[in-house]
Amino acid sequence: MTHLKRLAAGIHTAPLLEEIQAQPELWLWNRDRQTKVACQRETESIYLRAAAKPFPAGLSGNDVQLTRRTRLAKRFPNTLAFCEGFAALEEAKLGRVTLVKLQPMGRVYPHIDHGSYYRIRDRYHLVLDSDQGSPLISGGQMALLREGELWVFDNKQTHEAANLSQRPRIHLIFDIEPAAGRGHYVYPPEQASSAAGRLA
């Protein structure tokens, strides 16, 4: 497949799940993604790294490059350690980090992640809890993501996801800005700069 790649399987996710299970009330801490992003309305999210605020004048969150740990980050040391460790192995910069729960029989509806932030970063999914696997479609190609698997996919293509089970599905989703000349689905710098200019 050209738009989705499985990078690893059998990852030990128990320490990450334990952090989530110990503080379930945090799913309701910030409902912005659920209430303000229509394609994500059937999800709940816990933000561990997010776009730095306040946003510069005239920029949407999709064009803000700087990311910071959120107030909740210190409650998830194992989860952040996984993301930071992966970024270090890749000699890359860690961007935004979010835990996402998709409701039973829920969907993430088709969309593209527009903006200069996304153009120079790859998006990764680590499957933490998925009863029957997690269908993910990107660019018309579909993969079934299983627990303990790490995937990267092209979020610059139209993509969508589903939960086919009666239990919530939980993924760790994070972004990596790769070193120059590396990466899976990033735009070359000149294309990214050109795109940023059109969006400004």
Give the domain ranges of the chain. Answer: 4-53+80-199
pLDDT at 188: 67
Measured distance CA(66)–CA(84) in Å, rounded: 16
Which range (8-22, 38-52, 56-70, 103-117) has the least confidence? 56-70
Per-chain mean pLDDT for the chain: 93
DSSP 8-state assignment for residue 26:
G
In the predicted model, is pLDDT for residue 194 greater than 50? no
Fold entry, domain 4-53+80-199: Jelly Rolls (2.60.120)
**149 and 96 Cβ atoms separated by less than 8 Å:** no
Mean pLDDT of 57-64: 90
The residue with tokens 């979010």 is 98
Task: Return all residues near 192 (Cβ < 8 A) that are at least 6 apart.
Answer: 116, 119, 120, 186
C-beta of residue 34 within 8 angstroms of C-beta of residue 113: no
* H/E run at residue 8: strand 4-8
- Token pair for residue 158? 């139209």
